[in-house]
């Protein structure tokens, strides 16, 4: 028996998903079609293992998203700038989350002396510049995976610095308390860790809660609601609560 074509399987899976969601909540798609009002802008990597809505346990309509190779934020990239301006100034998201991740192919490429080829070498130039700027620290890390994770953290730190210098973001941080978070997704554990960059100094997004990572409430804070769960941002961190 021949294996099913991946695209045909994806379409079939979509039909099943749409049917399930419609049965579960008959108004779900009507509400989605009426408009969007997400609270989070997610700037992440294009890596297939890092789907933001799944990672956060949220639903379609909860997260406005921009992803590229190695989650690089460049001030001259009009694509990223357009997403930021629309999400921040027009949709008025309350959180901007820049998320890197472990086992990143872009990070590994930046740590290698070999060329990738084509436009990718140009795109990864900021990561290679980070490698050069932090060569002593990175070369002192013996484990390849740990070294790649460290440059991924440095990349998030650099990206958050660009975000905090963005005129639209600066304006909305000052005028309405927009929050900017620099985070790292650990693929091996499924956890997102706040690196402490941006406006949320010391917050711990996805901190260990024991077991499945679904925490109880406690303390005041903003609630970003999904259809089955809610992500609660508090001054002492963030937690996922089942509804």
Q: How far apart are CA 43 and CA 198, in angstroms?
A: 14
Residues of the chain scoring pLDDT < 70:
1-2, 201-243
pLDDT of residue 4: 80
Show the tokens assigned to 111. Answer: 């740590």
CATH code for the domain in which residue 123 is found: 3.40.1050.10
Residue numbers annotated as active site: 45, 47, 49, 101, 104
Specify if 160 maps to a domain: yes
pLDDT of residue 1: 57
Q: How do the residues of the chain divide into helix, strand and coil, expressed in percent and rounded to 5?
A: 45, 20, 35
Specify if 24 maps to a domain: no
Specify if 156 maps to a domain: yes
Q: Does the predicted model carry a pTM greater than 0.85?
A: no
Structurally, the chain folds into a number of domains equal to 1
Specify if 6 maps to a domain: no
Specify if 124 maps to a domain: yes
Burial class (CB in 10 A: 0-12, 13-18, 19+), 170: middle
Q: How far apart are CA 167 and CA 25, in angstroms?
A: 40
Specify if 157 maps to a domain: yes
pLDDT of residue 98: 98
Q: How far apart are CA 231 and CA 77, in angstroms?
A: 30
Q: How far apart are CA 95 and CA 38, in angstroms?
A: 9
For the chain, the first-to-last Cα distance in angstroms comes to: 43
Q: How would DSSP label each residue in 27-65?
A: THHHHHHH----SEEEEEE--TT--HHHHHT--TTSEEE
Q: How far apart are CA 215 and CA 229, in angstroms?
A: 11
Residue 3 per-residue DSSP state? P
Specify if 208 maps to a domain: no
For 145, the domain range is 37-201
Specify if 23 maps to a domain: no
C-alpha gyration radius of the chain: 19
């Amino acid at each position: 028996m021949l294996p099913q074509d991946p695209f045909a399987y994806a379409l079939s899976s979509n039909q099943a998903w749409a049917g399930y969601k419609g049965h579960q909540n008959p108004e779900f798609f009507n509400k989605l079609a009426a408009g969007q009002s997400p609270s989070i802008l997610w700037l992440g990597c294009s890596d297939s293992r890092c789907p933001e809505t799944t990672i956060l346990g949220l639903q379609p309509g909860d997260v406005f998203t921009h992803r590229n190779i190695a989650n690089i934020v460049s001030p001259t990239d009009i694509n990223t700038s357009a997403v930021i301006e629309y999400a921040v100034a027009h949709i008025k998201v309350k959180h901007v989350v820049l998320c890197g991740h472990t086992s990143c192919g872009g990070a590994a490429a930046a740590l290698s002396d070999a060329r990738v080829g084509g436009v990718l070498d140009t795109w990864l130039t900021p990561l290679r510049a980070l490698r050069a700027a932090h060569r002593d620290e990175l070369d002192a890390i013996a484990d390849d995976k740990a070294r790649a994770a460290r440059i991924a953290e440095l990349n998030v730190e650099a990206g958050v610095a660009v975000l905090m210098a963005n005129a639209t973001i600066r304006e909305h941080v000052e005028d309405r308390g927009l929050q900017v978070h620099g985070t790292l997704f650990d693929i091996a554990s499924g956890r997102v860790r706040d690196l402490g960059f941006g406006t949320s100094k010391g917050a711990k997004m996805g901190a260990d809660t024991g077991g499945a990572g679904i925490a109880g409430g406690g303390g005041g804070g903003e609630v970003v609601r999904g259809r089955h769960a809610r992500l609660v941002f508090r001054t002492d961190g963030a937690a996922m609560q089942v509804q």
